[in-house]
Structures are given as C-alpha cells and as structure tokens.
Amino acid sequence: MDFTIPDHLQDLTQRVRHFIDSEVIPVEQQLQQTGAELTKEQVFALRDKAKAAGIFAPTMPKALGGLGLNIQEWVPILETAGRSLLGPLAIHCAAPDEGNMHTLHTFANPEQVERYLRPLAEGRVFSGFSMTEPPPGAGSDPTMLMTTATRDGDEWVINGLKWYTSNGTIADFLLIMALTDPDKGAHKGSTIFLAPIDTPGITIVRDVPTMGRGDFGGHAEIRYENVRVPHSAILGEQGQGFAIAQARLGPARLTHCMRWLGIAQRAMEIAAEYAGTRHAFGKPLAEHQATAFMLADSAMEIHYARLMIHHAAWLLTNGDQARSETSMTKVVTSEVVNKVIDRAVQICGGTGISRDLPLASWYENARAFRIYDGASEVHRMVTARQIVKKYAAPRQ
C-alpha cells in the first residue's frame, strides 16, 4: 500500500493550514477572549477570503464552485480545516451543510439542484437535516419515526415535532424526514421533503440549550403543523427517505471524524508545547513519565484513528458503502478525540481549564460527538451483530 499524499494535495493542505493559522485562529481567539458568538457576517467574510485563496468548498464538484476532490482527498483537507471549530465553517465543509450538500448532490433533481444545492454550495445560505424527534419518536432508533406526511392532491401535509435540528434557527431550508406510507414501516415508508424555512406551519420552538460554547447554528426544536409542500418537494423517490438518510450518514460520519481529528491533533500539540516548557519538581513536565505517557497515548490514538479514517475514505471513494468501517471509525475517533482533549486539559493544568486556551470549549463541544450520528453503543451493537452473523453462521 502506498501512503504517499500526492504533491497537489500536499500543496492544497499547506494552503488550508496557512489560511487556518492566519485568518481563522485570530477570529477564534478573539471570540474566546470576549465570549462573543460567531456571527453570520463573520462566516461570510471568512468564506470570501477562502474563495479568494482557492480553498473553498473542498467536498463539492468544480461545476458547483468546489475543489472537485474525491472523498479520500478530503481527509487531509478536512483534518487541517478542523484544527479550529471555525475552520470547516470558513472553507465550507462544516456539518450539517456538508452532509446536506453531499446528499443533494447525490439525490436532487436538476430543479432542486438549482433551487437548493447551488446557493448552498456557494455558501450563501444554510440548511438543516430534521430527523430526530423527542420521545417517543425517532432517536437512536430511526424506525420510531412519528412525523407524518399525508398526500392531499398535488401536495403533502407534514405534521410532527423534531429536535436537535442543527442549524435550524439559521437555516434557509430544511430536509425533513416524514412517514408517508406507515403500513410499510419507516424503512420503506419514509420520505425526505425539501422545504424553505418560511413555509407556513414551520415554527422554531427554541434552540435546545446545549453543552459547549460557540456551536454556530444551534440545535433547534421545530414544530411542523399542517406544513403544505408540493409533490416536487420530495428528495429522490417517495419511500426512499431511510435509504437516503443511510447514504448521507456514512460519508457524513466520516467527515465528522476528519474534522474532529484536526482538533485532537491541535490539542495534543498544545499539550506538548506546555509540557515541554512548563517546569515542575526540577524538570519540564514532559520529562515526568506520567505526562510523557499521556502524550504518547494521544499520539498513538490519533495515529490509529487517522489510519482508520483514510481506509474508510478509500473504500467510499472506490464505491464501497463502507458501513461497518465508517461505523467503527466513528466510535474510535469520537472516543479518541474526547480522551486526547481530556489529557490535554490535564497536562495544561489550570490553563487547560481557562478560556485562554481553546481546550475548554473543545472539551465541551466534543462530548456530543459520542452521541450524534449514532451513539457509540448503537455502532457497537451493529458491529457486533455483523461479526456474529459472519462467524456464528450454522455449520454446513
């Protein structure tokens, strides 16, 4: 196997790194110190600079203004952008827009591409993916979907309650998962609809207050009450909702891993710098074995998470759905990221807890990664099921 990163990709990665260091991290530091929230205007200003630098929309094809890279090529770019939580927003590969763009690129018809995907890919609008519902509706188990869409002539009428729709409060349009054929169950009877946010009947109830600062776009609770959309609002086919959601989740999960790996890498670098320069008991912290081992564990874990990401990305690039590989990679990376940040906080002592460093906000924000896009337990359950199916087959 050849692990060489080709020259053009190395060059692009370096340009992204320069942009993150010179344009993004100063904004991150300013927000950190003032406690201010990132504004849409700041995002648009960073996006203009990213466009000028030729590093905008790495996951989109050139025809839509993107860089035209394959999934394997996304890995170093998204990891580098992910060195700051603002980086992916700036170069336009942040969740949930990135996953929605990929989904629309795969399933939208030409009219939907012009109306929804093109402005989204250009970074002028925001989108949300509205699937999760409060109990007793869909959560870890999406087959518990309760939101319905009922046909009325040429229209569909959507009713239901969703929550944790990321970007909900700033979105210009939503992808809404609803049950259209209840007798077929959620697997075959659910459909995704596209609707502008100002469609009558869509009400943002609130942004669910969550752990972590600077979570741009928030996570909204949204009520759908007699929301009328035309039949042409269906993404893909009627009854294809679950399959589309599955097709979205594989790559979307992996891009979360790519971005968060950048944070883990930077957290380790911050910890190493502190440990190498701060003295205690007559020598640098890094020379105390307990600290050195924490750094070594972080380096090893980041390395294996990165290799898993590269492998799953290679499979996806080559047409494999990589369902179990993206699942396993998501569990490993989300747990590695949390451990690495936790160790970095520990190594940096009081400074790790302070807002002088970004570690505190990463610590808060990373926790959700073990829950969204499938909790670790659900991925472990699916992985175990596949192993048992493979190795516990009845003997012939």
The footprint of ligand FAD (CB under 6 A) covers 96, 129-132, 139-140, 164-166, 210, 219, 368, 371-372, 375, 377-378, 381
**CB of 162 vs ligand FAD, minimal distance in Å:** 7
Between 247 and 368, CB nearer to ligand FAD? 368
In this structure, are strands 283-284 and 279-280 parallel, antiparallel, or unpaired? antiparallel
**CB of 166 vs ligand FAD, minimal distance in Å:** 3
Between 138 and 270, CB nearer to ligand FAD? 138
Between 96 and 189, CB nearer to ligand FAD? 96
Determine contact, residues 274/351, Cβ cutoff 8 Å. yes
Supply φ then ψ for residue 174, to 5 degrees: -125, 150
Q: Which residues contact 229 (CB under 8 A, 6 or more apart)?
A: 155, 156, 158, 193, 194, 195, 199
Determine contact, residues 243/184, Cβ cutoff 8 Å. no
152: β partners:
155
Between 314 and 372, CB nearer to ligand FAD? 372
Q: What would the DSSP string read from start to end of 290-308?
A: HHHHHHHHHHHHHHHHHHH
**CB of 376 vs ligand FAD, minimal distance in Å:** 7
| DSSP structure class, residue 215 | -
Tokens 């990163």, located at residue: 5
**CB of 138 vs ligand FAD, minimal distance in Å:** 8
Q: What would the DSSP string read from start to end of 231-252?
A: GGGEESSTT-HHHHHHHHHHHH
Q: In 3-state terms, what secondary structure has residue 178?
A: strand
Between 175 and 348, CB nearer to ligand FAD? 175
Between 59 and 167, CB nearer to ligand FAD? 167
Between 232 and 246, CB nearer to ligand FAD? 246
**CB of 28 vs ligand FAD, minimal distance in Å:** 19
Q: How many CB atoms lie within 10 A of CB 227?
A: 26
Between 131 and 264, CB nearer to ligand FAD? 131
Which residue number is nearest to ligand FAD in terms of Cβ?
139
**CB of 137 vs ligand FAD, minimal distance in Å:** 8
Between 135 and 282, CB nearer to ligand FAD? 135
**CB of 100 vs ligand FAD, minimal distance in Å:** 9
**CB of 360 vs ligand FAD, minimal distance in Å:** 17
| DSSP structure class, residue 62 | G
Between 311 and 367, CB nearer to ligand FAD? 367
**CB of 371 vs ligand FAD, minimal distance in Å:** 5
Tokens 């949930």, located at residue: 96
What distance in Å separates the CA atoms of residue 70 and residue 76, rounded to the nearest whole number?
Answer: 12
Contacts within 8 Å (CB) and 24+ apart, 308-315: 308/257, 308/332, 308/333, 309/75, 309/79, 309/254, 309/257, 309/258, 309/261, 309/333, 310/3, 310/72, 310/75, 312/254, 313/71, 313/72, 313/74, 313/75, 313/254, 313/258, 314/72
Determine contact, residues 162/147, Cβ cutoff 8 Å. yes
What distance in Å separates the CA atoms of residue 386 and residue 288, rounded to the nearest whole number?
Answer: 43
**CB of 101 vs ligand FAD, minimal distance in Å:** 14
